[in-house]
Structure 1
Amino acid sequence: MTDSDNLRTTYEEGGYVFPAYGDRCFADVTESALSLLSEEFECGLPASAFGDLLDVDIDRVVLLVLDGLGMDQWNRLADELPFIRAFEKWGTVTPLTAVYPSETAAAITTLHTGLLPAEHGLLGWHQYFEAVDESIQTLPFLLEDGTPIHDDDPLANARELFAGEAIYGDAEAAGIDTHAAQPEHIAGSASSRLTTGGAETNAYWNVADMAVTVRDTLMAADGLTHVTSYVSNVDHISHVTGTAEDRYDAQVRMVTEAVREGLVEGIDAETAQRTALLVTADHGHTNVDQSEAVDLDVPAVQDILKRDDDGEPIPPVGGPRNVQFHVQDGRVEELRSYLEANHDVLTLDREEYTERGLFGEGQAETSETFERRAPDLVAVHRETVMWYHDDDKIGVHGGMTAEEMLVPFAAARVSDLQD
């Protein structure tokens, strides 16, 4: 039995994979990475996930997050791509689960804060935002029609997106110099300024530029140094083509070769000996047929939803694979009955998902932000998407298939990866 099979055996029920909080979960990667540099941080991942890194002198750590590169695609490409093959041969690769939802907004907030979704309260790309009394796109801080929120309401405060603070202030207090490498179109956003607060932001314009920037940061470092580098290219191509097309493979090759050439092979031998490279992903993807998409803009759903200040239904939030409903009092079972009778879905009401710790309840105290946003009903379709406006993505995520929920955590000393 492979490690992935073992993880599925433990956390999968009826084809739905639940998050492995406190065991083998993406939620623990940042604090575990920092624990290589300081005892102020707890290693929440198994020691075996780090191979021999715990037994060598490390004073530099790079945490590379390849958005959307799930465990299944890592395994499929392992023999073809030198970067992945090197980790398989010389490093350690451990499957983890994503957080729930397996969406970038929730996961990246967890990445930079070390908090579970139940603690930070940002539960999806689409979220009802009280300041503007409507659903927004959270991380880009846009209205649903793409208008910047500050164009509509200059006083809207992005600080209300999530509870808690970035982990980098604590890292700096522990004597660790922290950096966050991000695409330039993301680096200056309202949400990024909050999630990476305390770290020096290194904006990059393509992956090759990122790899060289990270390399130079490591070689110039004087003391304990941690770099979180986020790459979005794999996620973008997955949405357009799905994960079974040549263009997807070409994009993963481009990204991994840029990192291999610019960072792994470009760094000097002494720095390579002292640097740990950790590679993970916030989620994977499952491929869908949009012709089978479930339209939620129907009376059987809309008539049951809570109303906003203008008396209009508050639309489902979360995302097409992570649908969260706010329902009128006493009508949750009515909505659940409709969804289960007509679609192949898993539904969990608040009592059920709290008991299961779906968002992390039970692992830590929930925040007021979470309590305010906690849905009355969660619905996850087994195979397709459920939403209320058009969406043409092929590769999607947010749900609980193994393809979405299982991600790699690869660890090695850079010197061991060099040719």
Structure 2
Amino acid sequence: MSHPPAAHDAGRSVPVSPATAWDHPEPLPVSSAPVPEYGSGSLADLLPTLAAGLGVPATAAAIPELTPADRNCVFLIDGLGWEQLRAHPHEAPFMTSLLDSSRGGTGRPITAGYPATTATSLASVGTGLPPGAHGLPGYTARNPETGELMNQLRWNPWTEPRAWQPYPTVFQLADAAGVHTAQVSSPTFEHTPLTKVALSGGTFLGRLSGEDRMDLAAEQLAAGDRSLVYTYYAEVDGKGHRFGVDSDPWRGQLMYVDRLVQRLAEQLPPRTALYITADHGMIDIPFDEQHRIDFDEDWELRAGVALLGGEGRARHVYAVPGAEADVLAVWREVLGEQFWVAGRDEAIAAGWFGPAIDERVYARIGDVVAAARDDVLIIASQREPKESAMVGNHGSMTAVEQLVPLLEVRT
């Protein structure tokens, strides 16, 4: 059952533009946040569109400009935002060529979804549903059944996967419809709960090297008259978190993955459409008190808070029962010029998590939801020491985090 508040317009879709999040020095109302383009131009719309073109029942073409193909491949590059790609044409010449309309390129940005983080985005990709439906609304979120914070990337503490995310994946629907379906990724991910609830269906094929994944993905595309293949690469994100976007290690990974994309593109069988996309972009945050506000050292932000979830740029704040209004007021007063700060029902009504919220998902969302507008983080140096030390970060609705590429190669 859905939980649509009275003020929520289920059809609302606010386009995201690169300037929206940065050009307003004064605080903006919650309704001004640049909401993802659910239903017409988000990650959740990609696989249903491809599956509909393959004749898979219970799917629909939400991105109508994508022409159907008999064979379809999605290559997801973790952490490669639209703005980062456009800023590095020399490191990514092949992908950059797919942006050049004079050379037949049709690349454009789509929106990741909120929050712009890996677990949420992969679930949106695989299920074809926005976060309010699939129910992975953040890096960490409260399990209403236990009261504990659950890390949805690492699936810790363990929770029954199908109870947490009960919907079939698009891969499962395609496999049931007779489409040759495969996921080609790291062997590490084969049996993870996140893979089970977000990316399972058909055959999982694990390969360690990027080159082996590209070669195998091409083979899998050719294995069926109708095929749907997914492949993935993680280290652009890993280097961004550790060293920062535009660091030498990050640029080295971008150069490498650009060669992988070209390797796959040059092996595509006939009647294939290859789509290159990502799960989120990334922004580097300076290491000073102005840009990194430490929840563990800030008594005002801690007052009345039972659990701090999400991540630095996309926080779920769970209040002590009865303190919800006070916590919202304090967070809005302290952070209102740097974050969009909303109560749970305000964020839902504004469409942050999609056009409707499943009843089971409602209490997973924070009593207060804080999304960064500026280059700032809410870290938690004691609770989250590793996350608090990351250079590159993501999660919010700014263009640098939210916009991801949708590049196409056809044969």
TM-score, L = length of structure 2: 0.84
Shift in Å at residue 178 of structure 1?
Answer: 1.1
Match of 2:258 in 1: 256
Give the whole-Å Cα distance in 2 for the aligned partners of 1:206 and 1:79.
Answer: 24
Of 352, 365, 371, the match for 2:346: 352
2:225 partner amino acid:
G
Of 389, 393, 396, the match for 1:399: 396
Match of 1:192 in 2: 195
Aligned residues of 2:341 and 2:370 also touching (Cα < 8 A): yes
2:220 partner amino acid:
T
Per-residue CA deviation, residues 112-139 of structure 1 (Å, 9 max, x unaligned), is 1111111111111212235664223222
1:201 matched to 2:200? The reply is no
Give the whole-Å Cα distance in 1 for the aligned partners of 2:18 and 2:262.
Answer: 34
Give the whole-Å Cα distance in 1 for the aligned partners of 2:56 and 2:193.
Answer: 32
Of 145, 168, 171, the match for 1:168: 171
Give the secondary-structure state (helix, strand or coil) at the position aligned to 1:29: helix
1:255 partner amino acid:
V
Q: 1:336 to 1:238 in 2, by over 3 A?
A: same
Aligned residues of 1:63 and 1:279 also touching (Cα < 8 A): yes
Aligned residues of 1:77 and 1:84 also touching (Cα < 8 A): no
Of 235, 238, 241, the match for 2:240: 238
Please show how residues 281-320 of structure 1 align to structure 2 within 5 Å. Answer: 281-292=278-289, 293-297=292-296, 298-305=298-305, 313=306, 315-320=307-312
Give the whole-Å Cα distance in 2 for the aligned partners of 1:169 and 1:317.
Answer: 31
Give the whole-Å Cα distance in 2 for the aligned partners of 1:72 and 1:22.
Answer: 22
Shift in Å at residue 111 of structure 1?
Answer: 0.9
Give the whole-Å Cα distance in 2 for the aligned partners of 1:193 and 1:109.
Answer: 10
Match of 1:153 in 2: none
Per-residue CA deviation, residues 149-195 of structure 1 (Å, 9 max, x unaligned), is 4xxxxxx5233333422222211233211111221212221221232
Give the whole-Å Cα distance in 1 for the aligned partners of 2:133 and 2:321.
Answer: 25
Match of 1:134 in 2: 148
Match of 1:96 in 2: 110
Structure with the largest fraction of helix: 1
1:379 partner amino acid:
A
Percent identical = 25
Shift in Å at residue 334 of structure 1?
Answer: 2.2
Shift in Å at residue 251 of structure 1?
Answer: 0.3
Q: 1:10 to 1:301 in 2, by over 3 A?
A: closer
TM-score, L = length of structure 1: 0.83
- Is there any run of 5+ residues in structure 1 with no aligned partner, and where? 1-5, 144-148, 150-155, 306-312
Aligned residues of 1:33 and 1:63 also touching (Cα < 8 A): no
Aligned residues of 1:208 and 1:259 also touching (Cα < 8 A): no
Q: 1:24 to 1:10 in 2, by over 3 A?
A: farther
Give the whole-Å Cα distance in 2 for the aligned partners of 1:243 and 1:129.
Answer: 33
1:211 matched to 2:214? The reply is yes
Matched residues, number: 374
Aligned residues of 1:37 and 1:59 also touching (Cα < 8 A): yes
Shift in Å at residue 60 of structure 1?
Answer: 0.8
The worse-fitting range, judged by mean Cα deviation, of 78-87 and 403-412 is 78-87
Of 119, 122, 126, the match for 2:133: 119
1:134 partner amino acid:
E
Give the secondary-structure state (helix, strand or coil) at the position aligned to 1:250: helix
Aligned residues of 2:18 and 2:399 also touching (Cα < 8 A): no
Aligned residues of 2:18 and 2:400 also touching (Cα < 8 A): no
Shift in Å at residue 384 of structure 1?
Answer: 1.5
Q: 1:18 to 1:160 in 2, by over 3 A?
A: same
Of 63, 66, 85, the match for 2:77: 66
Per-residue CA deviation, residues 38-96 of structure 1 (Å, 9 max, x unaligned), is 2643111241xx3xx45xxx311001111111111111223542321331233311111
Give the secondary-structure state (helix, strand or coil) at the position aligned to 1:378: strand
2:50 partner amino acid:
A
Give the whole-Å Cα distance in 1 for the aligned partners of 2:176 and 2:163.
Answer: 25
2:240 partner amino acid:
S
The worse-fitting range, judged by mean Cα deviation, of 67-76 and 328-337 is 328-337
Of 359, 374, 377, the match for 2:368: 377
Aligned residues of 2:303 and 2:327 also touching (Cα < 8 A): no
Shift in Å at residue 291 of structure 1?
Answer: 2.5
2:359 partner amino acid:
E
Shift in Å at residue 203 of structure 1?
Answer: 1.2
Per-residue CA deviation, residues 329-368 of structure 1 (Å, 9 max, x unaligned), is 45334223322333322101123212211100xx34x223
Match of 2:9 in 1: none
Match of 2:62 in 1: 44
- Is there any run of 5+ residues in structure 2 with no aligned partner, and where? 1-14, 25-32
Shift in Å at residue 12 of structure 1?
Answer: 5.3
Match of 1:310 in 2: none
Give the whole-Å Cα distance in 2 for the aligned partners of 1:30 and 1:392.
Answer: 34
1:336 partner amino acid:
L
